[in-house]
Structure 1
Amino acid sequence: MTEVKAMAALQAGEPLQPFSYELGPLGDDEVEVAVHYCGLCHSDLSMIDNEWHMSKYPLVPGHEIVGEVAAVGANVPHVRQGQTVGVGWYSRSCMHCHECMQGDHNLCSTAESTIVGRYGGFATRLRAHWGWVLPLPDGLDPATAGPLFCGGTTVFNPILQNHIRPTDRVGVVGIGGLGHLALQFLRAWGCHVTAFSTSPDKEAEAKQLGATDFVATAGPNALARLANSFAMILVTVNVPLDWEAYAKILKPRGCIHIVGAVPSVTIGGFTLIGGQKSISGTPLGSPATQADMLAFAARHAVAPIVEPFPMSKVNDALERLRSGKLRYRAVLQNDLG
C-alpha cells in the first residue's frame, strides 16, 4: 500500500487543505508517478468550485503532472522506473472501442479524466494507464513543462485537426494560459498570427510570444477591417463573444475553433452557409497528438510562462488565478513529503 499526501478541497469552493489516502495494489496496466511538478489550470478551479456539476469531494485537483516513474505494472511496455514522464487531463481510455482503435483515444466514451471521480496530481503520487503516461523529451524543462500536458495539447490539436498550413492566417482570441501557448505554436508552425484581446496592454507581450498583429477588441467595429482574412479563429476564452463579427472575418471554408469553455455560441445560419464556414471544438488530444506536441515544443523552444509555487502554498496560487493576475500559468513544486 502506498500512502499519498495531497492538497484537497473538502467542499465546493473551499480552500485546499492537507489530505492523505492510500493507493491499493498497482494494476498490471498502470504506472505510478512520483509527482515532482503540477501545473494549475483554470479547469482545476472549475472543478474546485463545481462549476461543471460533476465534482466529487474530497477533490484533489491537478492534471498537468510531471514526475518520475516510481513503479510499473506487469503489462507496461514503454516506460521504465526512474524515467521523467507527464500525465494530462486523461488518465485512462478503454483501448478497444472504435475511437481508441483509430487513434482518437481522447474521444473514447469511457475515457477517465485525471481529476473527475478520482484523485489528481496535487499529491505525492498519481497512477494512470500506461497509454496516457508520456516520456518527457530532452530539451523540455520538467519544472515548466507541466502545462504542456493540458494547455499545450489543447491548442496544438486544432492546428492538426483543421489542417492549418504555414501560409495560413490564424487568429487567437484571448492571451492567457491557453492563448500564450497558442501564439508560440502558431508562430513556430509558420503562420501569420493575429492576437485578439480586450486588454490593450498585452500587445507588446503578445508580439514577443509570436503574434504578427494585435487587435484590441473593446472598441466598436474593431474587427470590421479584417473581413475575409482567417483560416481559423482559435477561441481560448470562456466568456461570451460577438460570434457574428468573428465569423465575418473568416475566409471561405474558415472555421471558428473553440477550446475555451464558452457558455454558448449564437450565430446565424446564413453567416456560415455563404462562405462554407464552420464552428468546431476539440477535447485536448490523443496520446499520439500529445507526443507530437511535446516533440514540436522541444524542437522549437515552445514553453509556458509560469509562476512557481510550493504545492503546500497552492491556495496562494489559486488566489492569483481567481484574481486574473497570473501570468500565465502557475506550476506547483511538490513539497508535501
Structure 2
Amino acid sequence: MKTIGYAAHSATSELVPFIFERRELRGNDVAMEILYCGVCHSDLHTVRNDWGGTIYPAVPGHEIVGRVTAVGPDVTRYKVGDPVAVGCLVDSCGHCDQCRHEEEQFCRNGRTDTYNAPDRVTGANNYGGYSKHLVVREEFALRMPEGLDLAKAAPLLCAGITTYSPLRTWNVGPGSRVGIVGLGGLGHMGVKLAAALGAHVTVLSRDADKAQDAHALGANAFLLSTDEDAMAKAANGFDLIIDTVPVAHDLNPYIPLLDIDGTLCLVGQLGPVPEPNTAPLVLERRRIAGSLIGGIAETQEMLDFCGRNNILPDVEMIRMDEIDAAFERMERSDVRYRFVIDMASLPAPATT
C-alpha cells in the first residue's frame, strides 16, 4: 500500500512530505486510516537523534487513533469501520515470560517499537503515525471505547499509559497520597488519572503560575518546589511521586517527601541525573524506580477506564505542516498540554 507521511531526513532537517509503502496485509494484520496522531517528546528526541540510533528517513508518531480499512483473513477482533488505536508497540515475540505476563514492553527478545525499529518479519524500518495509513498486528491494535472523543484521545496511547501504569503498579486508590512532578503532557494526564482513581493529588512545580491549572485539572494541592519551607513541611507526605520531567534534573529535593516505603517513579528523563543522596533512601526505606509505558492489556484497561470516566487530554489541534513549529513550541513548554495532528491536513491522499 502506497501512502504519505511526514519524515525527517537528518537530525537537522525539517519534516517534509514522504511517500512510502506500507506492507501488504499478513493474515493477522489490521490496516487503518490514521485520523489523529499525538506529538510526544520522544518524537522530537528521535528526529534529532538525541538518543542515538535514529534511522533516516524517520516518520515519528506513536499516539495513533484511526479506523479500520481492511483486515487479514485470520483477524477476529476487528472489522472494517471500527475505531482503533495504536500506541508505542506494534510487535513482540509473544512467548517469553514478559510477553506471557502481558508486559510486552519488556519483551526479553526485544519489543518492536511503532517507529524507528525493525519489522520482526522483514527487518525493514518501521514508520510511525505521522502518516495516512498504518498496518499492524491485530494483537497490538486497541479498541477505542464508545463515546470517547477520537480527536482528543490520541495522547492517551503514550502520555496516558505512561502515567496510568505506575498508578496501577503501586496500587493507587482512595486514600493514596500522590505527587506529580511537572505539569506538561505526561503530568497533566497523571493528575487526571490519579484523581479519578480517588487519590489525594499534589502537583509539584518550580512555576507558581501552574497552581491554578493544577487545581483545574483535578489536583487537591500545589507545592512550589523552590519553596524550601513548604518542601520541608511536606516531608513524609507521599506514598508515590511520579516524576514526569523530561530532562536531567536533581532528584534529591523529592526523596524526603516520600513516606516510609514510598516510591519516586521516573517516567520522563532517560539518562544520567545528578547523584542522589542515599541516606534518606536507606533510613526511611524509600525507593527510586522507573516505569516504561505499559503492556497491551493494561493499555486497553486504561482506555476503558478513560471511557467510563470521560478522561481526555487537554489538546491543541495542529495541521501536519505545522509540526516543526510545534516541536519548537514543545521545547519551550508552550503547549497546554499536548499537540495532536489532524491527519486530514496531509497534502495528498494515499494511493494504492
Q: Same fold (TM over 0.5)?
A: yes
- Matched with 2:300 is 291
Is 1:178 the counterpart of 2:177 in the alignment?
Answer: no
Q: One-letter code of the match for 1:51?
A: D
For the residue of structure 2 that corresponds to 1:223, the secondary structure is: helix
Alignment partners' CA distance in 2, 1:53 and 1:35: 28
Alignment partners' CA distance in 2, 1:111 and 1:207: 37
Answer yes or no: is the 8 Å Cα contact 1:35–1:66 preserved in 2: yes
Q: CA deviation at 1:90?
A: 0.8
Answer yes or no: is the 8 Å Cα contact 1:170–1:233 preserved in 2: yes
Q: One-letter code of the match for 1:116?
A: N
For the residue of structure 1 that corresponds to 2:321, the secondary structure is: helix
Is 1:281 the counterpart of 2:280 in the alignment?
Answer: no
- Matched with 1:111 is 111
Is 1:311 the counterpart of 2:320 in the alignment?
Answer: yes
- Matched with 1:330 is 339
Answer yes or no: is the 8 Å Cα contact 2:248–2:269 preserved in 1: no
Answer yes or no: is the 8 Å Cα contact 2:172–2:194 preserved in 1: no
- Give deviations 1:166-185, integer Å, cap 9, x for gaps: 10111000000000011001
For the residue of structure 1 that corresponds to 2:252, the secondary structure is: helix
Is 1:228 the counterpart of 2:227 in the alignment?
Answer: no
1:125 to 111, 133, 140: 133
Return the TM-score normalized by structure 2. Answer: 0.92
Is 1:258 the counterpart of 2:266 in the alignment?
Answer: yes
How many matched pairs?
336
Alignment partners' CA distance in 1, 2:16 and 2:185: 25
Q: One-letter code of the match for 1:251?
A: D
Deviation beyond 6 Å, 4+ runs, structure 1: none
Alignment partners' CA distance in 2, 1:189 and 1:17: 41
Which runs of 5 or more structure 1 residues have no equivalent in the other structure?
none
Alignment partners' CA distance in 1, 2:84 and 2:102: 21
Alignment partners' CA distance in 2, 1:18 and 1:103: 36
Answer yes or no: is the 8 Å Cα contact 1:63–1:87 preserved in 2: yes
Alignment partners' CA distance in 1, 2:258 and 2:338: 30
Q: Aligned-residue CA RMSD in angstroms?
A: 1.4
Alignment partners' CA distance in 2, 1:262 and 1:122: 23
Q: One-letter code of the match for 1:37?
A: Y
Larger displacement relative to structure 2 (274-283 or 81-90): 274-283
Answer yes or no: is the 8 Å Cα contact 2:184–2:333 preserved in 1: no
- Matched with 2:122 is none
- Matched with 1:21 is 20
Q: CA deviation at 1:267?
A: 2.1
Answer yes or no: is the 8 Å Cα contact 1:255–1:279 preserved in 2: yes
Question: Share of identical aligned residues, percent?
Answer: 37
Alignment partners' CA distance in 2, 1:187 and 1:273: 30
Larger displacement relative to structure 2 (19-28 or 166-175): 19-28
Change in CA separation of 1:224 and 1:239 when aligned onto 2, cut-off 3 Å: farther
Alignment partners' CA distance in 2, 1:54 and 1:130: 28
